[in-house]
A and B are shown apart, each in its own frame.
Chain A
């Protein structure tokens, strides 16, 4: 049994609740127990660091403080934007005693900057690839996955300290352990522009179409992501993107936990893949 704190973030409690459903179902099978940080608040996302540098530290710091208060020393933050904001606050706080004192006062809970923040890939690594391999009972060998890390899972490297910023392979290792194949492609760490989806859709669709096209050109029959915003952009917006740019083939977009979950024998309705916009390829 692995015990971890859990910071879902707004997306996973909002329109990306299929991601939460999927990772909860999947991690339960792997004996990972999640304890949600009590009364967590939004991390501020890019709005905070764009508009107010103080809030950009204080909002994530409040959550780190709440986790500490509840003795949660390691926290899974499945949204890469949240995990990056939490990491950034951690670094700033750990490096600066005066800031620590000030921010603890501002957020009304002591913060040390020592809570370890994990992304979903790291939690699967913790559960163990061997264990995933052994627990896999359903073949997903028909899936040729393009693992898409997007921008923030691996960047900036000094902040997130995870895998390789230019050629990460950690997601591939998990997907292969679960029994699917992976493709080598060029857009694994290119940004999909999700932050602009509402404000300037045109640019975002252009970025998405490059990603879809490149994955298809390299023989992928699905995309695998570990980010709620990437999923919105590539799944929910996919029909728009395909229509606008004349891409005929559809490309299902899975969360990493969907893929592992399928291999573990979980059904569509258990994982929430039946709620995706692009129909899943589970059954085939």
Chain B
């Protein structure tokens, strides 16, 4: 279980081999993309989240060009990004801005560099993926409950814990809240898909208290069903296409 999720990426985006950009942890295509950035700032100009970021999108790309990976991995900006694709759409150099930011998020998680301040966003996304692993489709009630609980374990904010609770009855009254949720018949297949995609898929470090690594459950289940993850999966460099 030592491999991080980032090592899975080469499956469809070959890892950079030797040049300095490999330092960024970006795959080849992303590294090329990153090299093309000429700092016009258009990505930042249109970014709806820029006000809430500690690094502007164009700064992220410049720092990566300069090899200041850790500064980027520890930023709140990569977690504030809502993946709206405004930057990718407008970049005159066709830099895959969101692709790069996605890789930074995965790398930050794999290296345990997610600070408490950014934690809520990460916890939200983790509880989301975890919920899908279990149910196949998002079960909103249990996801919110998990998210709130884990969020609370991080900052002990009672205000956050109960914020929005008043909406519950209103949603219920509008038939928008479901206790049972929409169900998938074949849920075992989802666990197998997760296991195959997620060797070592788990947050590291003390920054995510109370996290139950999902993949271990999934993997042991996959083993029980006799369906081992394909051996080549996750092995770095095997999937250069």
Interface residues, chain A, with chain B CB atoms under 8 Å away: 10-11, 13-18, 39-42, 44-55, 57-59, 62, 92, 96-99, 102, 105-108, 151-152, 155-157, 165, 190-191, 193-196, 198-201, 203, 206-207, 236, 275-277
Residues A207 and B48 in contact, CB atoms below 8 Å apart? yes
**What residues on B are CB-neighbors of A51 within 8 Å?**
5, 105-106, 109, 125-126, 129
* Minimum Cβ distance to chain A for residue B199 (Å): 9
Q: Give the chain B neighbours of A47 by CB distance below 8 A.
A: 124-126, 128-129, 132
Residues of A within 8 Å of B109, CB to CB, are 51
Contacts of A54 in B (CB 8 A): 5, 8-9, 11-12, 196-198
Check B106–A50 contact: CB distance below 8 A: yes
A14 touches B181 (CB 8 A): yes
A51 to B101, alpha carbons, bound, how many Å? 11
Which residue from chain B places its CB closest to the CB of A165 in the assembled complex? B89
Are A203 and B52 interface neighbours, CB within 8 A? Answer: yes
Contact of A41 among B11, B84, B136, B181 (CB under 8 A): B136
Please give the distance in Å from A154's CB to the nearest CB on chain B. 8
Contact B137 A42 (CB under 8 A): yes
B186 x A39 contact (CB < 8 A): yes
B82 touches A45 (CB 8 A): no
CA distance A57 to B241 in the complex (A): 16
Min CB gap B98→A, angstroms: 8
Q: How far is the CA of A47 from the CA of B214 in the complex (A)?
A: 14
Do B193 and A106 touch (CB < 8 A)? yes
| Contacting pair A53 B106 (CB below 8 A) | yes
A106 to B6, CA, bound (A): 18
For residue B181, give the distance in angstroms from its CB to the closest CB of chain A: 7
The residue of chain B having its C-beta at the shortest distance from the C-beta of A150 within the complex is B84
Chain B residue nearest in CB terms to A151:
B84
| B147 is an interface residue with CB less than 8 A from chain A | yes
Check if A155 sits within 8 Å of B125, measured CB to CB. Answer: no
Q: How far is the CB of B236 from chain A (nearest CB, A)?
A: 13
Q: Is B144 an interface residue (CB 8 A)?
A: yes
Q: Which of B17-25, B34-42, B63-71, B171-179 contacts A (4 or more CB under 8 A)?
A: B171-179
| Chain B interface helix/strand/loop/mixed | helix
Contact A201/B163 with A55-B197, A191-B82 known, Cβ cut-off 8 Å: yes
Q: Does B61 count as interface, using CB distance less than 8 angstroms?
A: no
The answer to whether A10 and B197 touch across the interface, beta carbons within 8 angstroms, is no
Which chain B residue lies CB-closest to A195? Answer: B82
**B13 close to A (CB within 8 Å):** yes
Contact at B184–A99, with CB atoms within 8 Å?
no
Q: Are B147 and A198 in contact (CB under 8 A)?
A: yes
Q: Does B182 make an interface contact (CB < 8 A)? A: yes
- Of all chain A residues, which has the CB nearest B13? A53
**Considering residues A44, A106, A275, which has the most beta carbons from chain B within 10 angstroms of its beta carbon?**
A106
CA distance A201 to B190 in the complex (A): 31
Sampled A-B contacts (19; CB under 8 Å): A40-B184, A46-B125, A50-B102, A51-B126, A54-B11, A55-B197, A58-B193, A99-B11, A99-B12, A152-B84, A165-B89, A191-B48, A191-B86, A198-B164, A199-B123, A200-B80, A200-B121, A203-B52, A275-B176
A62 cross-chain contacts in B, Cβ below 8 A: 189, 193
Q: 8 Å CB contacts to A: which residues of B154-208?
A: 163-164, 167, 170-171, 174-178, 181-182, 184-186, 189-190, 192-194, 196-198, 201
